[in-house]
Structure 1
Amino acid sequence: MRPTGGNVSTNGTRTHVLRYRGPGAPLLLVPGITSPAITWGFVAERLAQVFDTFVVDVRGRGLSSSGPGLDYGLDAMADDLSTLIAALKVENVTVLGHSMGARIAIRAAVRDASSMARLVLVDPPVSGPGRRPYPAKLSWYLDSIRLAVEGMDADAMRAFCPTWSEEQLGLRAEWLHTCFEPAIVAAFEGFHTDDIHKDLRQLALPVALMIAGRGGVIEAADEAEIAALNPAIRTTRVSDAGHMIPWDDFDGFFQALDVLLGTSFGRSAA
């Protein structure tokens, strides 16, 4: 499936969006810290079997506004999401956020969930003030970005993502240079300074949480704390996947969505 692309004026910036047209209700996918929208294409194509799917380039990544002078904090990115939903004129949208994208979705929903039907939070970092640090190292991101800026291929990217397919490695190598280093640093620092736990308590719309069984991001104690903060959150684990769940267990990712959303991706793939 070939997506259509477009640029939308949001919150004083340009936001680039890919659309994978599907038959159902709208779904807006918000990627993680160094994932331009195009790198989620293999997931969006399958999502489009059920949903009219949009994938966003978060500011400082892909084809959205970037460069010095922009605010790359969580609040600014959350406001981008809210104004994007308004600009797209979609109602009752499912917002699926991975990692940093899940934190963006949480903050945006606390501020204004009027056009959102539900959130799907995929392995969001639960670090924050006074909490254990996020398990990934900032240097892992920055080293690969600097190599991508110089020019790298799939073979060079394999050192950072050894289990990925050749196509996935090539796409990341092609697009990683669009991740503006100060934006990545700001987001990573925000993992440790922004408190999303207080936001989780305030969420009033339906929320589903997908946890990577081998990611090390959300541990059993974290899952219990989230359940105590907001008992209405539905949770499932993808046992054999690391933090990049669809890359590690593509079918497991969609089977988890079936559990959380009542969809039938697993049956449609059979």
Structure 2
Amino acid sequence: MKLTAFLRPLTAALLLSAALPLAATNAAAATAGHPAAAVAQLTDNPADHPNFTVRVVGKGRPMLLIPGLTCPGAVWDETVAHYQKQYQCHIISLAGFGGNAAPASPDHLLQNVRDQLLAYVKTQKLSQPTVIGHSLGGFMALWMSSTDPGALGPLVIVDSLPFIGAIQNPAATVEQVRPMAENMRRQMSLGGMSPAQQRQMVAGLVTDTARISQVARWGQASDAATVGQAMYDMYVTDLRAEVARIQQPVLVLGAWAAYQAYGSTKESTRAIFEQQYAKLPQHRVEMSEAGRHFLMYDDTQWFFQQADAFLKQPSVARK
């Protein structure tokens, strides 16, 4: 497989994966269709976390669901419906994506999100919540857990890596990829893609046509400068060594089928994942046979089978 060819689609996947924020005014509509939906937390102060909003659904052990860059907390709707009878789901949506107001300052964007999420876990007294993160959300889960190893419970990482900058060159350093990241941020700050370009790119990440339209709309509604800053922050943050501090069991779910046209195979893609997660103490990598980047959409049954089996293991359940 040519890694330079692999870089383009995976970068696109990370760029377009997922987090349409739900504004407080839409809370009633957001809980429609979820009979077990819980009312919003009365103790939460949104001013404490200006870089994201939270919707709380269900009862039971706490679970954080973190999307990526440009789709909804609603990207997790089916996942929430699956888990809300067992878990109290805290659905995160990031500022600047999917129509939410952009953050006041883009400086240290993802670090601020990380710190505010960890503070949210503590102020809400969430006891080692399970975390499911897709793409950027998976990266954020790894960063949170490596920063404060005792704060979180088991992690389910959906098609994400500790250091996207090293896909092209496993020996790459942050300083080597910084110029590319700066150029990407500069290009994004000039404006996003046209609707046609957005749909064409999303078509490589999702198989269902209705889902393609949905994800493309979320991308169009996102603030381009915020997206560019988030991408920059990911490219210049290398967690490959930091994940050694994570104490929790971690399930990593990977996709490869979308990259087949670029010469990738299931085995070669798994090798990239294993190399990047090599220092993570308790982890298992599983690859979907046919799902594209949005595995919870493309390979839903497999996604739930893998996550359910992982979360029910005694070594995981007691964490």
Q: Which amino acid aligns with 1:122?
A: V
Higher share of residues assigned helix? 2
String of CA shifts for 1:217-251, please: whole Å, max 9, x gaps: 98232233245312421222222111111121111
Match of 1:109 in 2: 145
Q: Which amino acid aligns with 1:77?
A: V
Q: Could you say which structure has the greater relative contact order, defined with CA pairs below 8 angstroms and 6 or more residues apart? A: 2
- Structure 2 unaligned segments of length 5 or more: list them: 1-32, 170-176, 178-183, 314-319
The alpha-carbon distance between structure 1 residues 144 and 48, as it changes in their structure 2 partners (threshold 3 A), is farther
Q: TM-score, normalised by structure 2?
A: 0.66
1:31–1:101 contact (8 Å) kept in structure 2: yes
Query: Matched residue pairs, number?
Result: 252
Match of 2:56 in 1: 19
- Structure 1 unaligned segments of length 5 or more: list them: 264-270
Match of 1:244 in 2: 294
Match of 1:122 in 2: 158
Match of 2:231 in 1: 188
Match of 2:309 in 1: 259
The 3-state SS of whatever aligns with 1:229 is coil
The 3-state SS of whatever aligns with 1:26 is strand
Higher share of residues assigned strand? 1
Larger deviation: 7-16 or 110-119? 7-16
Q: How many Å separate the matches in 2 of 1:82 and 1:173?
A: 30
- The percent of aligned pairs where both chains have the same amino acid is 19
2:67–2:73 contact (8 Å) kept in structure 1: yes
The alpha-carbon distance between structure 1 residues 47 and 178, as it changes in their structure 2 partners (threshold 3 A), is farther
Compute the RMSD of aligned alpha carbons.
3.5
Q: How many Å separate the matches in 2 of 1:90 and 1:171?
A: 32
Match of 2:107 in 1: 71
The alpha-carbon distance between structure 1 residues 235 and 129, as it changes in their structure 2 partners (threshold 3 A), is closer
Q: Which has more radius of gyration?
A: 2
Q: TM-score, normalised by structure 1?
A: 0.77
Q: How many Å separate the matches in 1 of 2:281 and 2:128?
A: 22
Larger deviation: 210-219 or 115-124? 210-219
> Where do residues 153-164 of structure 1 align in structure 2 (5 Å cutoff)?
159-162=200-203, 163-164=206-207
1:10–1:84 contact (8 Å) kept in structure 2: no
Q: How many Å separate the matches in 1 of 2:167 and 2:254?
A: 18
Q: How many Å separate the matches in 1 of 2:84 and 2:49?
A: 29
Q: How many Å separate the matches in 2 of 1:16 and 1:181?
A: 19
Q: How many Å separate the matches in 2 of 1:120 and 1:77?
A: 19
